Structure 1
Amino acid sequence: MTTEHTIKRKFKIATTSLAGCFGCHMSFLDMDERLAVLLEQVELDRSPFTDIKHCGPCDIGLIEGGVCNAENVHVLREFRANCAILVAVGACAINGGVPAMRNYFDLQECLEEVYLSGTGITHPQIPNDPELPLLLDRVYPVSEVVHIDYYLPGCPPSADAFLQLLEPLLTGQKPVIAKSQLHYD
């Protein structure tokens, strides 16, 4: 007698944080016990939760944070190339958020203010190491670099908003986020 087991394929989800505070990832974790239920349906690929360094082929990519340096551009393009659905999560990804406040100032002036003009600096110099990612002229929303399929606003979006986005996507449906979850604070 043989027993047949139907193995249901898990959806692959990748997440990353670019120029942001990781608040969206913390909100994702706020799903608490609902996260355990979600993990029955999904497998995490690249993510701060897994420490996987590169995004492999995934069903859904969640991008938190704006784009402020060359490494962010590389990571974002890798996600777009490997994720069937790409979601901009939170204010920083959608419009640059707090990191984009530097867009009102000249980048060189910002660097000089931070690294050369501070009190108590013993050897003032602007960091210039090849290991450091090259800063962009300004902080960009992710949609100015790659095509984004869905937006999940908030600072950060609530755990409920994450679920309202993910649950329909996992069943092949278009997500509809409740208006009560759509806030920009």
Structure 2
Amino acid sequence: MKAMPRPSRRNSAPQVEPGAGGPDGLDRGMLPGLVGYALRRAQVAVFQDFAREMAETKIPVTPGEFGILVLVSRNVGLSQTALARAIGVDRSTLVPILDRLEHHGLIKRRPSPVDRRTHALELGPTGTALLPVYESAVRRHERRIQRRLAGGEGSTLITALDLLLDGALQP
């Protein structure tokens, strides 16, 4: 079977007329009508704002790391396996995140008193000190996001996202 010739990279950029489509002139075709595309674009914007807010803290964390700190603070002794399940990642993805948090003293891993094969998680001294700082930063970040939404749209959006999540988990 003969391989298809590769297009030249020099001229492979799409040719778009200025002013066509979005504010940047790109024609996005069907993309603006796709829920997943809109979710991803919104997620990028929200995460960028989150990062700007966290940049002001002593040890900046990502949205995922913040979520882990909240879960660990509210569920002292939580196992890594239970945490991975709760946030929807596999353990091999979670371990390097926990390594970073532990390196900065944000969490501590100790042998589980129930199962020696697992670790129990708790906030470290730095995590205990910084969690209130992070929570204040997240509240400011959330207020900025919510300002873009009218009335109860924030609650409606969360409900709609929960419905999507529930549907995504069903076979």
Normalised to the residue count of structure 2, the TM-score between the two structures is 0.23
Q: Please identify which structure carries the higher helix content.
A: 2
* Structure having the higher Rg: 2
Q: Please identify which structure carries the higher strand content.
A: 1
Normalised to the residue count of structure 1, the TM-score between the two structures is 0.22
